[in-house]
Structure 1
Amino acid sequence: MAKLWANLASVLGKVAPTIPFMARRSCSSTRQIIMKAEGGKYAITLNRPDVLNALTLQMINELFLLLKRINEDRTTKLVILKGAGQRAFCAGGDLKALAEASRKEAKLTEVLFRDEYRLNHLIGTLRVPFVALIDGIVMGGGVGLSVHSLFRVATRRTTFAMPETAIGFFPDVGGSYFLPRLAGRLGTFLGLTGTRLTGRDVYDAGIATHFVNAEEMGQLEEDLMKNEEVNDATSIRNVLERYHAKGCNQPHDFVLSPHLKRIDVAFSADRMEEVLRRLRDDRSNWATDCIAQLERMSPTSLKVTLKEMKLGSALSFEECFKMEYRLSQRIVRRHDFYEGVRSVLIDKDGNPSWSPRTLAQVNDESLNDYFSPLPPEKELQFD
Structure 2
Amino acid sequence: MTLRTLQLVLKRGFTQKHNAVEPTVLIKKHLGSRQFILNKPRVLNALDMEMVDIIYPNLKSWEVSDQAKVVFFKGRGRALCAGGDVKDVVCSVKDPKKHDDLAHQIETEYDMLHFMGTMKTPYIAVMDGITMGAGGGLCSFAPFRIATENTLFAMPETAIGLFCDVGASFFLSRLDGHLGAYMGATSRIVKGEDALFAGLATHFVPSSRIEALETRLAELDHVTHDIVHQTIEDFAVKKDHQPATYTLHGQNRITIDTCFKHEHMEDVLDDLKADGSKLSLETIDTILKRSPSAVKTTHEHIRRGSKLSLKECLRMEHVLWQTIPYAHDFIEGVTSHVVLKKQPKWNPATLEDIDLEKDIKVKRFHANIRRKLFFSNDQDFHELPYRRYALPSEKEILDSKYMHSLRTVEDTVQWFENDRNGKFGVRHKVEDVLDRNLRILN
Alpha-carbon separation, structure 2, partners of 1:309 and 1:81: 26
Partner of 2:3: 5
Report which stretch shifted further, 68-77 or 314-323: 68-77
Quick one: which amino acid aligns to residue 12 of structure 2? K
Query: Given the superposition, is the C-alpha separation of residues 248 and 205 from structure 1 closer, same or farther in structure 2, using an over 3 Å criterion?
Result: farther
Cα shift at 1:213: 0.9
Alpha-carbon separation, structure 2, partners of 1:42 and 1:149: 15
Cα shift at 1:16: 3.5
Residues 159-308 of structure 1: pairs in structure 2 closer than 5 A: 159-229=152-222, 231-246=223-238, 249-251=241-243, 254-257=246-249, 258-308=251-301
Query: Given the superposition, is the C-alpha separation of residues 251 and 39 from structure 1 closer, same or farther in structure 2, using an over 3 Å criterion?
Result: closer
Contact 1:176 1:309 in 2 (8 A): yes
Secondary structure in 1 matching 2:6: helix
Cα shift at 1:338: 0.9
Contact 1:81 1:132 in 2 (8 A): yes
Alpha-carbon separation, structure 2, partners of 1:59 and 1:374: 31
Partner of 1:36: 28
Cα shift at 1:75: 4.3
Alpha-carbon separation, structure 2, partners of 1:253 and 1:72: 40
Partner of 2:325: 332
The CA deviation string for residues 336-371 of structure 1, in whole angstroms up to 9 with x for no partner, is: 00111122111111x211101111221221212111
Q: 1:103 aligns with which of 94, 97, 106?
A: 94
Contact 1:160 1:196 in 2 (8 A): yes
Quick one: which amino acid aligns to residue 235 of structure 1? I
Q: Does 1:91 align with 2:52?
A: no
Cα shift at 1:55: 1.2
Contact 2:32 2:219 in 1 (8 A): no
Q: 2:55 aligns with which of 63, 67, 75?
A: 63
Q: 1:49 aligns with which of 36, 41, 49?
A: 41
Alpha-carbon separation, structure 2, partners of 1:16 and 1:124: 25
Contact 2:185 2:298 in 1 (8 A): yes
**Rg: which structure is higher?**
2
The CA deviation string for residues 138-158 of structure 1, in whole angstroms up to 9 with x for no partner, is: 011111111110000011111
Secondary structure in 2 matching 1:303: helix
Query: Given the superposition, is the C-alpha separation of residues 119 and 278 from structure 1 closer, same or farther in structure 2, using an over 3 Å criterion?
Result: same
The CA deviation string for residues 113-164 of structure 1, in whole angstroms up to 9 with x for no partner, is: 1111111111111111100111010011111111110000011111111011
User: Structure 2: where are the runs of 5+ without partners?
Assistant: 377-442
Cα shift at 1:15: 2.5
Partner of 2:366: 372
Structure 1 ranges of 4+ moved more than 6 A: none
Query: Given the superposition, is the C-alpha separation of residues 52 and 232 from structure 1 closer, same or farther in structure 2, using an over 3 Å criterion?
Result: same
Quick one: which amino acid aligns to residue 4 of structure 2? A
Contact 2:192 2:244 in 1 (8 A): no
Cα shift at 1:92: 1.2
Contact 2:72 2:126 in 1 (8 A): yes
Q: Does 1:135 align with 2:128?
A: yes
If the length of structure 2 is used for normalisation, what is the TM-score?
Answer: 0.81
Alpha-carbon separation, structure 1, partners of 2:159 and 2:352: 18
Quick one: which amino acid aligns to residue 361 of structure 1? D
Secondary structure in 1 matching 2:119: coil
Contact 2:80 2:130 in 1 (8 A): yes
User: Structure 1: where are the runs of 5+ without partners?
Assistant: none
Alpha-carbon separation, structure 2, partners of 1:171 and 1:222: 35
Report which stretch shifted further, 363-372 or 259-268: 363-372
Alpha-carbon separation, structure 1, partners of 2:180 and 2:279: 17
Query: Given the superposition, is the C-alpha separation of residues 164 and 84 from structure 1 closer, same or farther in structure 2, using an over 3 Å criterion?
Result: same
Contact 2:173 2:180 in 1 (8 A): yes
Q: Percent identity?
A: 35
Alpha-carbon separation, structure 2, partners of 1:37 and 1:247: 33
Secondary structure in 1 matching 2:289: coil
Q: How many residue pairs align between the two structures?
A: 371
Alpha-carbon separation, structure 2, partners of 1:153 and 1:99: 32
Alpha-carbon separation, structure 1, partners of 2:167 and 2:240: 28
